[in-house]
């Protein structure tokens, strides 16, 4: 089952890289002067679906302090090449100056995201 899933992901990424769609919707990534976490995935990818509620929660909790962005690379195929991704989901963390600091492929739990944001100087929400 795992090899079949990996095969589908590789095929999807290959198609994305050779079939670019229109202009990028997310021109301001990383967000200027803000720590930014970008999750590149797809709405129909299982690990991506598992991450969706985590990203929604963190987007609200970190509003104004860190940007949490999701890009669906199956809907905007040009983003795969733009961010140089090999598989989905892929998370990319940028510091406040816009420099890529860390990249992770696969599901990333809430604790891992929070730890990386903290490492980049973003204070945890008071209610945590």
Dihedral of the alpha carbons of 62, 69, 87, 119, in degrees to the nearest 10: -30
How far, in whole angstroms, is CA 98 from its chain's centroid? 15
CA proximity to 46, closest of 102, 91, 6? 6
**If DSSP codes are grouped into helix, strand and coil, which group holds residue 59?**
helix
What does the block give as tokens for 99? 């420099």
| Catalytic residue list contains 48 | yes
| H-assigned helices in 65-109 | 78-83
What does the block give as tokens for 53? 């509620």
The residue from 16, 29, 31, 48 that is catalytic is 48
**Cβ atoms of 37 and 92 closer than 8 Å:** yes
The residue from 16, 31, 45, 51 that is catalytic is 45
Catalytic residues: 45, 48
């Amino acid at each position: 089952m795992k090899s079949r899933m990996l095969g589908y992901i590789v095929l999807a990424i290959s198609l994305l890289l050779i079939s670019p769609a229109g202009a990028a919707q997310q021109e301001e990534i990383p967000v200027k002067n803000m720590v930014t976490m970008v999750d590149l995935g797809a709405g129909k990818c299982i690990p991506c679906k598992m991450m969706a509620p985590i990203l929604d929660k963190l987007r609200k909790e970190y509003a104004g302090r860190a940007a949490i962005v999701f890009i669906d690379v199956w809907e905007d195929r040009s983003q795969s090449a733009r961010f140089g991704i090999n598989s989905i989901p892929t998370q990319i963390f940028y510091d406040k100056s816009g420099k890529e600091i860390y990249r992770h492929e696969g599901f990333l739990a809430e604790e891992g995201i929070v730890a990386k944001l903290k490492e980049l100087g973003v204070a945890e929400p008071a209610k945590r």
